[in-house]
Amino acid sequence: MKEHKNEGMDKIKKMFTDKYEKLLCEFSRGFLDILKYKKYHTLFLTSNIKFSFIKTLKCFKSDLKYKRKPLRLKHLIFNLLSSLIPLFIKKMIINLFTVIIVPTNYLKKVLGRKDIHVVPFGIDIDKFKKTHKGKGIAFFGANASSKGFEDLYNAVKYIKGDIPIRFYFSTRSELMKKKFKDKRVEVYGVVDDIVKAYNDNNIIVLPFRTENSSIGIPITLLEAMSCERCVITTDLPHIKEILGTTGVYVSLFSPQNIANAINLLDDNIINTLGKMARKKVLNNYTDKIMFKKFEEVMDYEKIQYKRRSN
């Protein structure tokens, strides 16, 4: 899977440069990043800060099997260290920022500050849409244990029928081709057309294992929903806020649950959930909605900033 940038986030960052430069905002993908940016006035916290050390440690041990590159190993160690920092300390440091923006109500509730602004991520709905009928079960993402790809692979032996099960990895796909031996499994690396890849499959499985498996709103989840795919994912609180009743939930670290969920689906359920998911994206997670909310927040804070400066 070709790594593609979230164009909406890039546009928002440009807005800061062009329009809100004096607000000194920084985008952070994790708590340890925040420590570098305490001098800034505004923080857009894009990742969850509350996650389990036990689950993170379990993923870390699993990741060691895949001979990670030093940079990836460093990232895994940082995640593990971050999970050991008490939540109250994280909140204390985050609260040094005058303005805080987060992508979910869940993260706002965790931080416990009423003046936090919620601006959900958004995607290009004209690009990510249903283009054709595909049939297959697919995982999209990095081959990181926290993404849960092993849970889908371990579910394969319980999945009925001969439907293809495809893994689209953004990293180290050749290694995974050697490890995955089941005849129904297809492994892909970088693909030129991510929209086609979504549409080639009618069931997308994203079995995130921890709250920090992805950014606050996984872009892959939004893209799959926007393409009217039936999504099976784990029942983490921030994921449930996004997907709502438009998908199927399974427990963490649960290959058998994943297989059971897939085996219960029929074409009618798959199509109905896909249409519902697309509708939810149209109403809540488009790039236009994101830009509008962000501009409203920053225009308000720009006025407040001038008042405080006078």
Whole-Å CA distances, 226 to 120, 122, 279? 15, 11, 8
Residue from 241, 237, 230, 234 nearest 273 by CA: 230
The total of other beta-carbon atoms located within 10 Å of residue 310's CB is 5
- The mean pLDDT value of the chain amounts to 84
Q: Which of 36-40, 235-239, 251-255, 266-270 has the lowest mean pLDDT?
A: 36-40
What tens digit of pLDDT does each residue of 245-255 get?
A: 999 999 999 99
In the chain, the percentage of residues whose pLDDT exceeds 70 is 80
Judged against a pLDDT cut of 60, whether residue 84 lies above it is answered with: yes
Strands across the sheet with 99-102, in order?
Answer: 25-28, 42-45, 99-102, 117-118
Judged against a pLDDT cut of 70, whether residue 7 lies above it is answered with: no
Judged against a pLDDT cut of 60, whether residue 40 lies above it is answered with: no
In this prediction, residue 135 carries a pLDDT of 95
Give the domain ranges of the chain.
7-123+286-309, 137-284
Residue from 248, 232, 230, 221 nearest 120 by CA: 221
Whole-number Å distance between alpha carbons of 115 and 247: 31
Q: Highest-confidence range of 4-18, 43-57, 84-98, 219-233, by mean pLDDT?
A: 219-233
Dihedral of the alpha carbons of 253, 267, 229, 126, in degrees to the nearest 10: 180
Q: Which of 65-79, 92-106, 159-173, 199-213 has the lowest mean pLDDT?
A: 65-79
Which amino acid is residue 74, in one-letter code? K
What tens digit of pLDDT does each residue of 138-152 get?
A: 999 988 889 999 999
Q: How confident is the model at residue 303 (pLDDT cuts 50, 70, 90)?
A: low
The total of other beta-carbon atoms located within 10 Å of residue 124's CB is 15
Q: How confident is the model at residue 124 (pLDDT cuts 50, 70, 90)?
A: very high
In this prediction, residue 2 carries a pLDDT of 45
Q: Which of 125-129, 156-160, 167-171, 224-228 has the lowest mean pLDDT?
A: 167-171
Judged against a pLDDT cut of 80, whether residue 132 lies above it is answered with: yes
In this prediction, residue 235 carries a pLDDT of 94
In this prediction, residue 183 carries a pLDDT of 86
The hierarchical CATH code for the domain 137-284 is 3.40.50.2000
